[in-house]
């Protein structure tokens, strides 16, 4: 039997170090919220492939949908020979996306590809080049995605120069002294110091920042962005790559706001583990690009589209939006109850099941990166997969499948409590 250490040596010899890998063990199989490595060890998965399997590993309905499609065809390239399932999925997304206006959807492969195409559409629709994004935002690893991303390490190190006409403003972060008024004022300052608003095609933001630390966008901030966009003829793009498909307690995070974006990017949990992304937006804006300007060889792959249809059914049938809120509330209550014993817990936040805990050094406002690493490492030793995020690497984000069994979820919360107490030297 091949061991984890043998595979690790082979991996180091065969693949580049730039593809960072968190775990030193290798997956053999997975089911719902659990996975097992090649040596038979079991782990509770609170990462979900970075928010990709909100519907759990190998959900039976998704597996069945893919098997059925496999018996028909696996690829034609939608731009060459189209298929009804793509059109039907676009209709479903159009009907469910925020806003009562006519909408259209185009499908792609990755989240970064969706962002790239949203930029192309915005520029085609406005005839303008400029883009405004925010500190802490993450929009992908392509050149444009990196340019928009507001986090240097590890995403931008050594990869410049980046596309021009991209500007950044601070994202609201009260814990670190940035108010909504500060952020909106900074956008207006860009118009005075860096770019004529008449040259700006779009403002892009995440309703809840992902890699940046799971900071939710305040409602007044989103309203302020909409007002600025309307005043200057700028498009508002909501990047819902990580927030979409029931994660925040709504199908899309923008449904928590009384603001409608012009364009929205989607990916990750859209197809339950299959590579599929999309851009959905106002019909007249989506039609701005000329025929042939959008697409891709694998864009809207029929296997992934079949999985996406099943994902939407599972979200409805199993009431995953409601379950996200229920599980998220339970997790937040557990973390909040531990603040007395674990003084490093400075903030517990997030809508639905897009929950994070931020660690600061006790009695200070200084990020506690080392404590965060310790918690993650101890959890991994105990069989609980946790992800770290934040500009300072001091935030643990929780991305468990929304289909997780109650018993497994309770087991994970028990492990989490033990790990947190052990990390501050308290016997659990």
Domain boundary among 317, 333, 357: 317
One domain, residues 53 and 74: no
One domain, residues 115 and 248: yes
Query: Which own/partner contact pairs does 161-164 have at CB distance under 8 Å and 24+ positions apart?
Result: none
The more confident residue out of 425 and 175 is 175
One domain, residues 40 and 85: no
Per the structure, the count of domains in the chain is 2
d(CA 157, CA 155): 6
Examine residue 35 and state whether it is found in any structural domain, yes or no. Answer: yes
> Does residue 428 have a pLDDT over 60?
no
> Does residue 139 have a pLDDT over 70?
yes
Q: Given the DSSP bridges, would you call strands 277-282 and 103-108 parallel, antiparallel or unpaired?
A: antiparallel
CB atoms within 10 A of CB 427: 6
One domain, residues 116 and 208: yes
- The CATH number linked to 357 is 3.90.1150.10
pLDDT band for 352, please (50, 70, 90 cuts): very high
CB atoms within 10 A of CB 73: 11
pLDDT band for 335, please (50, 70, 90 cuts): very high
Range of the domain at 269: 63-317
One domain, residues 71 and 201: yes
The H-assigned helical ranges of 101-259 are: 111-126, 143-148, 180-193, 219-232
Examine residue 428 and state whether it is found in any structural domain, yes or no. Answer: no
> Does residue 76 have a pLDDT over 60?
yes
> Does residue 426 have a pLDDT over 80?
no
Mean pLDDT, range 214-218, rounded to an integer: 98
pTM value surpassing 0.95: yes
One domain, residues 181 and 208: yes
One domain, residues 300 and 374: no
Predicted confidence (pLDDT) per residue in 367-423, tens digit: 999 999 999 999 999 999 999 999 999 999 999 999 999 999 999 999 999 999 999
One domain, residues 18 and 134: no
Domain boundary among 317, 352, 369: 317
Mean pLDDT, range 45-51, rounded to an integer: 97
């Amino acid at each position: 039997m091949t061991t984890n250490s043998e595979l690790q040596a082979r991996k180091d010899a065969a693949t580049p170090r730039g593809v960072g890998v968190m775990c030193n063990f290798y997956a053999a199989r997975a089911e719902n919220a659990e996975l097992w490595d090649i040596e038979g060890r079991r782990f509770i998965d609170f990462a979900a492939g970075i928010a990709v399997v909100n519907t759990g590993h190998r959900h039976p309905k998704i597996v069945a949908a893919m098997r059925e499609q496999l018996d028909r065809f696996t690829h034609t390239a939608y731009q060459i020979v189209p298929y009804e399932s793509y059109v039907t999925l676009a209709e479903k997304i159009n009907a469910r996306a925020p806003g009562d206006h006519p909408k259209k959807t185009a499908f792609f492969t990755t989240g970064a590809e969706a962002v790239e195409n949203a930029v192309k559409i915005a520029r085609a629709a406005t005839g303008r080049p400029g883009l405004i994004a925010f500190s802490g935002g993450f929009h992908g690893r392509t050149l444009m995605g990196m340019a928009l991303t507001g986090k240097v390490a590890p995403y931008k190190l050594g990869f410049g120069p980046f596309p021009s006409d991209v500007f950044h403003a601070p994202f609201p972060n009260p814990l670190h002294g940035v108010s909504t008024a500060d952020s909106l004022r900074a956008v207006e300052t860009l118009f005075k110091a860096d770019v004529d608003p008449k040259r700006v095609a779009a403002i892009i933001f995440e309703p809840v920042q992902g890699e940046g630390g799971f900071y939710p966008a305040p409602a007044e901030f989103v309203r302020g962005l909409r007002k600025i966009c309307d005043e200057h003829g700028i498009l508002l793009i909501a990047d819902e790559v990580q927030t979409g498909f029931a994660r925040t307690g709504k199908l899309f995070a923008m449904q928590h706001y009384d603001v409608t974006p012009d364009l929205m990017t989607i990916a990750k949990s859209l197809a339950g583990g299959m590579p599929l992304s999309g851009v959905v937006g106002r019909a007249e804006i989506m039609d701005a690009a000329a025929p042939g300007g959008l697409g891709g060889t694998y864009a809207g792959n029929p296997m992934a589209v079949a999985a996406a249809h099943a994902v939407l059914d599972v979200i409805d049938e199993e009431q995953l939006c409601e379950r996200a809120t229920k599980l998220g509330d339970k997790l937040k209550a557990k973390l909040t109850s531990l603040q007395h014993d674990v003084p490093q817990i400075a903030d517990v936040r997030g809508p639905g099941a897009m929950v994070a805990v931020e660690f600061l050094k006790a009695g200070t406002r200084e990020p506690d990166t080392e404590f965060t690493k310790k918690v993650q490492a101890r959890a991994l030793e105990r069989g609980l997969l946790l992800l770290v995020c934040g500009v300072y690497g001091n935030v643990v984000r929780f991305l468990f499948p929304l289909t997780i069994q109650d018993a497994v979820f309770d087991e994970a919360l028990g492990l989490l409590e033990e790990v947190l107490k052990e990390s501050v030297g308290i016997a659990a």
